Amino acid sequence: MTDNQKLSCFKAYDIRGRLGDELNPDVAYRIGYAYARHLAAKRVVVGGDIRHTSEPLKLALAQGLIDAGAQVIDIGMVGTEEIYFASFYLDVDGGIEVTASHNPMDYNGMKLVGRGALPISGDSGLNDIRDLAEKLRSPFQRGDVDSRLRGNDEGKSGKDEGRSGNDEETGRKEEERNRSDEEKDRRDEVKDVIASAAKQSSAAVEGGRWTATASGLAETSDINSDLAKSNNLTSDLADKSVIASAAKQSSAAVEDGRWTATASGLAETSDVNSGLAGTSDVNSDPAKSNNLTADLADKSVIASEAKQSSAAVEGGRWTATASGLAETSDMNSGLAETNDINSGLTETNDSESVFSATPFAEKFSQQSILEPYVQHLLTYIDSAKLKPLKLVVNAGNGAAGHVIDAIEECFAELNVPVEFIKVHHEADGDFPNGIPNPLLPENRAATADAVIAHQADMGIAWDGDFDRCFLFDENGRFIEGYYIVGLLAEAFLRKHAGEKIIHDPRLTWNTIDQVLQAGGVPIQSKTGHAFIKERMRKENAIYGGEMSAHHYFRDFAYCDSGMIPWLLVSELLSVSGQTLSSLVDQRMAAYPCSGEINYRVSDAKLTLNKITEHFSTQAPVMDTTDGVSLEFEQWRFNLRMSNTEPLLRLNVESRGDAELVWQKVAEIEAIIQSAG
């Protein structure tokens, strides 16, 4: 990793990137360090979704947070809103969820919040965290991180084995200034270096593919070297802190979509005869020994080389090698990660076993917030009013299932007559039934079919981190999120007359109409969770909704929840005695819409300007809150550019004329196509 590397995984509102080149444990570590430094955070809560890569990314993130001085509370496999809840419930300085939500398998990401679950986006700290993370350089030497942030190379020692005595002395002084509580004798210095080694990863591209080079070693298919090999780890070696501390760290690999952790001193090769990292012919390295003695542990060569680790993607998978490890397909060493773990220095997917041995264990803890979180969810409804309901719930093999199970237990204890029909319920990071994104029509059939087969009252489906909630009526029909916004707004206003409701500008007429009829105050905000939350806080709005199935609640720290909406609709069905179709049919007929249609274009801005010019002279009302919204007497549309892709996003609605909607879609589409 080079200095000031641009981190393309930072987006406008969150962090998302391809595994390997854009997001890896090294980047996660740097994000954690930069986050804690920027916020001066002392206590941070972390969690991750079900993806196989989320756990090791979360651990690397936690190490960065801890190295920057924060205590970390890991709440386990959770959805994003559980991080929101934990952030205000535990009264911490912030929280980070590792999640790619509904993105493809080869992606992951992070959502960041500050104290009180305040969103962190581009203009509210995310760009600053990115800039700081880009300044950090791997591998880190604990004592000189701060000097590197100041652009001072005095403490640099990570990859220069032969640095001068002056540089070494300067580095030690820098370390003393920043880590005054650490012991300074040589053996503990080596211990700390090796312990921090696995946190870092550097990568080399050779012949168009990533190949791992760890501690000056190269990956090959035939490993005949005795480099640092020991067939018999003696008790003398076992007494040394080098191996003891090395085992405390892990580096990670993705194989067929799954991450595997390998601890320092382990190897993965096609033919590993030595149990060490591979070269074509390594017969004379300073680290070679059939018996690793205490003297070897003190050599600066090991101290410096162990600071390095590298990560590789080969054939679409991640491989990690740390402190002399190499990736291969066949492991014959007792110090290797295998299907049968015989070594104490072995891979683990268990975060507790990783951190139980880490020198940072005193700053890392695990805590479940599931029970208080579920109790909080149930405060939004009167459970006693719920009538017998049969609900199809589709977690999409994502993170929602464990929350549904906990709510089901609470309902049973309260004798609430709600039956859950569970579809794709078990959490599975392989997503055997496809990426959980119910917004895609091809992902809706399982929920719709189950509703019909079980004659259910409603179907509910979530994306991977369940921050979005999608509803199906009793006929298995998918209900556009736009109409659920109006439904929930009306439900809140029945209990809290005169309150403010926030909505996005893409589709508006139905929401505005329902809010006004219910005695509320509709307020428009720019699209996006950061903007909605900010406007809700400013207005102290009780509820906010987007047509994209994001719903925000004042009593949930103005954050979005994918669990509260279906609970509220369940109560509404019970109290009104109506079906979901009867509640939305009239609204859908009054304000039919196209739903969001995406168009890939060569020049989004030019095309947007061309369409605006074409219609602006005819439109009595034009609004530029987000893209451009043009309103006519009987129809309106919103057209906006994607923040991340060369896309235009179109939404059209009318006053009671569905045919007009599609006529106007075709008219606008023709202009888009002519623009190229």
Which tens digits make up the pLDDT trace of 195-213?
343 333 333 223 222 323 2
What percentage of the chain has pLDDT greater than the value 90?
A: 64
Most confident region among 290-299, 334-343, 377-386 by mean pLDDT: 377-386
Domain boundaries, the chain: 15-176, 195-349, 370-479, 481-560, 597-675
Rounded Cα distance between 321 and 200, Å, is 10
pTM: 0.72
For the domain bounded by 370-479, which CATH number is listed?
3.40.120.10
Range in 58-72, 228-242, 436-450, 588-602 with the lowest mean pLDDT: 228-242
Query: How is residue 498 annotated by DSSP?
Result: T
The tokens 């060493």 sit on which residue? 333
Using one digit for the tens of pLDDT, what is the confidence trace for 101-137? 989 999 999 999 999 999 999 889 999 999 999 999 7
Active site residue 101: yes
Q: What is the pLDDT of residue 425?
A: 99
Sign of the C-alpha dihedral computed for residues 93, 98, 102 and 103 taken in this order = positive
User: What are the backbone dihedrals phi and psi of residue 482, each rounded to the nearest 5 degrees, phi first?
Assistant: -55, -45
Across 53-75, average pLDDT: 97
Q: CA nearest 80: which of 468, 394, 391?
A: 468
Indicate whether 406 pLDDT > 70: yes
Q: Report how far apart the first and last C-alpha atoms of the chain are (Å, whole number).
A: 40
Extract the runs of DSSP E, i.e. beta strands, from 85-213: 94-98, 107-114, 204-206, 209-211
Tokens, residue 51: 């993806």
Topology (CATH) of 481-560? Alpha-D-Glucose-1,6-Bisphosphate; Chain A, domain 3 (3.40.120)
370-479 against 481-560: fold identical = yes
Rounded Cα distance between 305 and 247, Å, is 16
Q: What is the pLDDT of residue 348?
A: 33
Q: What is the pLDDT of residue 362?
A: 86
Across 314-338, average pLDDT: 32
Indicate whether 476 pLDDT > 60: yes
Rounded Cα distance between 82 and 333, Å, is 42
Using one digit for the tens of pLDDT, what is the confidence trace for 522-576? 999 999 999 999 999 999 999 999 999 999 999 999 999 999 999 999 999 999 9
Q: Which of 101, 138, 251, 323 is catalytic?
A: 101
What is the tally of helices (H) and strands (E) in the chain? 22, 27
Across 83-108, average pLDDT: 97
For the domain bounded by 15-176, which CATH number is listed?
3.40.120.10
Topology (CATH) of 597-675? TATA-Binding Protein (3.30.310)
Using one digit for the tens of pLDDT, what is the confidence trace for 484-521? 999 999 999 999 999 999 999 999 999 999 999 999 99
Mean pLDDT score of the chain: 76
Between 646 and 450, the more confident residue is 450
Indicate whether 423 pLDDT > 90: yes
